[in-house]
Structure 1
Amino acid sequence: MAEWDAAAALSEARAEVEARIGALRRQLGEIREVSSWTGADDEHDPEGQTIAFERAQVQGLLDDARRELVELDRAAVRVEDGTYGCCERCGAPIGDERLAALPAAATCIGCASRARK
């Protein structure tokens, strides 16, 4: 993948993740607001468990999006230093298809598969 393609893909992915973070922050704020209406006693409130679950789920999605943003920033550094598209583990090229699907990918598919086992 050419450097300018990588930079454009990373920029687009970063904008999408930032938008997702903004939406999740708003959603989390709305959940907190709703939970303040129902009182602080989640244990005895029939809706309490649902609100707590929803809050935890949205917080998890927000944490994931923040990690993804960090990974995209690391990938942008690799573009700048000329190592983007090379596996951080084995040094082999990362396939264009993998980079197109996961612009922040730091490992080739072989190393990523071995890491999961």
Structure 2
Amino acid sequence: MTDSAAMRELLGEEARETQALIDSLTSNIDDLSSAREGDNSDDEHDPEGSTLAFERSQADAVLIQSRDRLTQIAEALERLDDGTFGTCTSCGQAIPAVRLEVRPYTPMCVACAS
């Protein structure tokens, strides 16, 4: 059994950190879009390194993952409220406390998540 108050605090911290990352990524993506606006140069062949398109693509991917994590955190809070937190949504077995400490929003045990 997990301490729901401690898990709620851990999930809250995860949510705050994830939201800060989302805010930062959104700002970076906006900056990349602004930098590219009105510029018709070919950055695909820029010898200086990665392209703006590549950087934006990476930021978009992390942004999608971060938004998904926020959804998972909200779902974990719902499981805390309804008393199913810490139980694998796939097999019904208890999720080890160590896994929940590392990834408190996980809905599945290691075996089912693999």
Structure-2-length-normalised TM-score: 0.89
Alpha-carbon distance between aligned partners in 2 of 1:71 and 1:106, rounded to the nearest angstrom:
8
Task: Provide the residue aligned with 2:7 in structure 1.
Answer: 6
Letter in 1 for 2:12: S
Identity of aligned residues (%): 31
Contact 2:44 2:51 in 1 (8 A): no
Q: Is the aligned partner of 1:92 residue 2:97?
A: no
Contact 1:42 1:52 in 2 (8 A): no
More helix by percentage = 1
Aligned ranges for residues 48-59 of structure 1 at < 5 Å?
50-59=51-60
- Distance in structure 2 (CA, Å) of the matches to 1:2 and 1:21: 28
C-alpha displacement of 1:112? 1.4
Q: Structure 1, residues 50-84: CA drift from partner, whole Å, max 9, x if none?
A: 01111111011101100010010000100000000
1:44 shift after superposition: 7.2
Q: In structure 1, what is the Cα distance between the partners aligned to 2:70 and 2:45?
A: 36
Structure 2, unpaired ranges of 5+: none
Once residues 55 and 30 of structure 2 are traced to their aligned partners in structure 1, the CA distance between those partners, rounded to angstroms, is 12
Counting only pairs closer than 5 Å after superposition, residues 1-117 of structure 1 correspond to structure 2 as 1-36=2-37, 39-40=39-40, 42=42, 46=46, 50-113=51-114
Is 28-37 or 72-81 further displaced after alignment?
Answer: 28-37
Give unmatched runs, 5+ long, in structure 1. none
Secondary structure in structure 2 of the residue aligned to 1:85? coil
RMSD: 1.8
Give the 3-state SS of the residue equivalent to 1:20 in structure 2.
helix
Task: Report how far residue 40 of structure 1 moved.
Answer: 3.8
What amino acid sits opposite 2:103 in the alignment? L
Moved over 2 A (4+): 40-47
Cα separation, 1, equivalents of 2:19 and 2:8: 16
Paired positions, count = 111
